[in-house]
Each structure stands twice: as structure tokens, then as C-alpha cells.
Chains A and B, each alone.
Chain A
Amino acid sequence: MTGIPFSVTTRTTAAGPVVTVGGELDVATAPRLRAAAGTLALGSGQLLVVDLAGVTFCDSSGISALIAARNLAEAAGARVALAAVPARLARTFALIGLADFFPTYASAEDAVKD
């Protein structure tokens, strides 16, 4: 509805991979985030940052994909963090108690610095 096409891009920093998501993260697009997370070569002690700044919508499938990414990171001995969560999403995430499981940062840069 917002007209922003869905996108997932991955870049690598010293701390670990940063996955940047844009557009609507829903039942149609969540598999692409899952697929992108599945191809990451996560090493023990690394940090996977999911940058949500460009996400205009996130439904339960999107949340499932984030949890799946966290499970993957956990299995590899890596940590996961969310960056730049839009206010609308932050409210939802607070309601369902995601903050305990996903350290959240204002930006991907902040997450990587930490």
C-alpha cells in the first residue's frame, strides 16, 4: 500500500552481518528475510543486526521470520539485535515482549559499535 518495494540486503561489518529490510514484512515477503538469514555465515560470538528502518509494516509472519533469524543466530553461538525499529513496530514489539529477546538500538551503527 505504501508503494515501497520489499527489499533485503546484507552487508558485513567487523561485528557481523547487517541485514537491512525495507517495505512490508508480511506473509508474502517474510520468506525472503528467512532465506536471507539462512544464507548468512554466522560465526560464534558474532552479532547479527537486523535493520528495520525502512519497514512500513510487519505482521505475525514478519515476527516469525525475526524469531527464526534469532534461533539461527543462537544455534551458531551468535547474538542478534534489532536496529532503527519504527515507532509503530516498536509498540507492537513492546506488547508482545520482544524487547527481552532482541536488544534494540537506534541505528545499525550503534548496534555494531556496542
Chain B
Amino acid sequence: MCEAGDQAGPGHRESAGPAFSALLEDSAEDLYEHAPCGYLSTLLDGTIAKINATLLGWLGRERDEVVGRLRFADLLTVGGRIYHETHFAPLLRMQGELGGVAFELKAADGTRLPVLVTSTVKTGTDGQAQLIRTTIFDARDRRAYEQELLRAREEAERERDRVQRLARTLQQTLLPPALPEVPGLEVAAYYHPASADEVGGDFYDLFPLTGGRWGFFLGDVSGKGAAAAVVTSLARYTLRAAAVSDPDPVTVLDRLNTVLHHEYRGADPRYCTVVHGHIERRDDGAAVTLATGGHPPPLLIRADGSPRFLDAPGGQLVGAFAHARFTTVDVLLEPGDTLLLYTDGLTEARAHGRVRYSEEQLQAHLTGLAPATASAVVGAVTDLLAGFGDGVEDDTALLALGIPLPGGDRT
């Protein structure tokens, strides 16, 4: 740039001259009148002595009705006038200048204009105050910005409420509204959401199949939030549909594995762990066949003994791999027996350095409870969870199936 200027020499300056001097000829008076801000000069008592056209335009007033007739405070709203008299004017007298104070101007038509006011006191050669010069900036943009901020915050708060409502609603669609009455069985369930903001990945259901047989499942999808809810929904409906068309739990889990793997292979795999089975009355008890897919083993609490885990070996994660292996286990429930299915937040509880509850602790906690009803077992585990307080970071779902003892009353 310097080089170009040097080469152009004096001629270059001359060519830029006329336009530049036209700017300089712009009179100081015109600059004052039509500046992009309001100018105002008042006597020390506030009487307006001089005002620019810009400000008159904002106020919608003629010069004649303002100069010598109104005081600066007359241009303000009532609240502004009080603030001006009690704070602004005294402070200005003391300091000689005051800047960036927010006021609202009242225009002739009654509209209000948010402004920022800066004033200085002009003193004569003798040091005596002579008049007050005031610059007024249009603060509509800033006011709009502040209101926008406020609106955004309110919106965010409403949004948070909406998200929590949505999460609750979604979660409700992933769980049965109430467990059905199953003849000869006592059933109980519990669901504890870890977060009000996010949909958890736990799900369970109990539903009728043909011939007095009932299907059930309880599972846990990897991840949380909307993406996990989609998988949960898919898992839930696939399980129900597959269970109706084929009663073999291994076949049902195979179907679910195929569906999930097909949907979520690649860089963002989604999978679930699940226990699925069916139950039907047999004599005074019930026969259960179930299969597990990567899920912690169900706990069987016999009427006469301590709880033990149902071993269903080899069940693999559902949906993670093209071919997964599942095996079934059969068990006969006698009167007073209860089968407990549970999620413990997938692997978190077992893998973490912090102690939460282990399967062994769960087993120990339920020892001595037998013979226990389904609701007593669910109640005992719920109490255990409550004891962990905010240590329960993940969703927890429980589903218990029990055979009532004859006579009804049980511990």
C-alpha cells in the first residue's frame, strides 16, 4: 500500500481530494443537527437551551415547543424523572460528568424510547458551571437484546420442563401402565428412573400368550436418552411380536438379535441385555422357561430356602453381533417361590471401583425373606436401593413372579 502511494505521488492525493474535502465541508452545524445520536444542552436548572434535530425526531416534537419551555426531566417517564432528580442530577453536579445511564424518553405520541444518557457539565473560565451537555443514544437494540436474553432464559426453563415431561411420557410408553392380573400368580414390578431429564434404557413387560401361557421380559438397552429410547421401543415390540409367533425364548432372542444387529451395525452399535421367558400354571405351581441374553441371572427365592441365581449359561449380548448364542433354563415354581428379574444398570454396578450393589449383596439381602411374595421381594430390593441414595446412578427395573402359598397370608 505504501509503495502504491509513493508511486502515485502528489497526483494520487489530488484525485482523492474533492470527495474528501466535500466531507470536510460538511458543516459542524449539520453534524450536530443530524448526528446519529441525540444532543441536548440545558441550563443548570435543566431548561433545554439547545437540542438537535435527531433528538427532536425521536421525540416527535418541534423545536419551538421544547427550547426554553421544557426541562430535560420533562422528556422522561415519571419513574425516570424521579431517578433523575434524586440520583442523576446530584451525582452530575458532584462529579461534573455521568455516563451510560439508562432512561426512557417519552415521545409526543406517548411511545417510550429506551436510551442511554451521558452528561457533562460545561464550566466557564472562572470555574463556574455554565450549562449541561447531554448525549443520548438509542438503546432499543440493547433493550431488545436484554429482553431477548430474558426470553431465552424463560424459554430454556420451559424447555427443561418440557424435556422432563417428554422423558416421563416416553418412559411410560416403554413400560406397561400396570401389570395384568395373572391367575394363580402374584406379580410385582418396580421402575426407578435415574434422571428426570433422560429416558432410561430399562424395560419390562408381562403379557398373555395362547393356552394360559404368559410371556415376560425385562431388559436394559445400552445408552440413555432419545437414541436409547428408540432401541428400547424396537426391542419391546420385537419381543412381544416374536413371542406371540414362537414360544421358544431362544428363537425370540434370535429374532431380537437379528433385528437390532441389522438396525445398528457399524460405528454406532446398540444392543441390549434381556431376560425373556414364559410361564404357565402347572398343578399348584407354575413352569417357567427362560433365556438370558447377556443379562444378570434371575434370582430364585424358594419358599424354604435362601435365594439362588438361575444359571442360564452362555447368553450373549443381544444385537451386538450377527450371531449370538442363547440357551434356555427350565424351572418349576412351587407355592411360596418367587422369581426376581432385575436390571442393575447393565455392567456399571459390577465393574465400577465404587461399591454399589453386587449380585452377592442382593442375594444376601434377600436371604431370610423366604417364603416371600413377589411384592415383598420387590419391596425389599427397593428398600435396599433407597439405602444407596444417590449412589443409584442408573435406571433400575424389577419384575417379580411368585406363586402364592395356599391360605393367602404370607410374610
Give A residues with C-beta under 8 Å from B: 1-2, 27, 34, 38, 56-61, 63-64, 67-68, 71-72, 88-89, 91-92, 95-98, 100-101
Contact = CB atoms under 8 A, between A and B. Distances in A.
Contacts of A71: 265-267, 269
Given A57-B352, A59-B351, A60-B348, A97 B267 contact: no
Interface of B: 220, 222-224, 265-271, 273, 294-296, 314-317, 320-321, 324-325, 346-348, 350-354
Contact of A96 (B223, B266, B317): B317
A97 B347 contact: no
B269 A58 contact: no
A91 B350 contact: yes
Q: Is the interface of B mostly helix, strand, loop or mixed?
A: loop
A38 B265 CA distance: 15
A23 B368 CA distance: 39
Contact of B350 (A34, A68, A92): A92
A60 to B, nearest CB: 4
Nearest to A58: B351
Given A63-B347, A95-B294, A98-B317, 20 more contacts: A1-B353, A57-B353, A59-B347, A59-B348, A60-B222, A60-B223, A60-B348, A61-B222, A64-B223, A67-B320, A68-B266, A68-B269, A72-B267, A91-B350, A95-B295, A95-B347, A96-B316, A96-B317, A97-B315, A97-B316
A67 B269 contact: yes
Nearest to A2: B353
A67 B350 contact: no
A97 B325 contact: yes
20 contacts: A1-B354, A27-B223, A27-B224, A34-B267, A57-B353, A58-B351, A59-B348, A59-B352, A63-B317, A64-B270, A64-B271, A71-B265, A71-B266, A71-B269, A92-B350, A95-B294, A95-B296, A96-B316, A97-B294, A97-B325
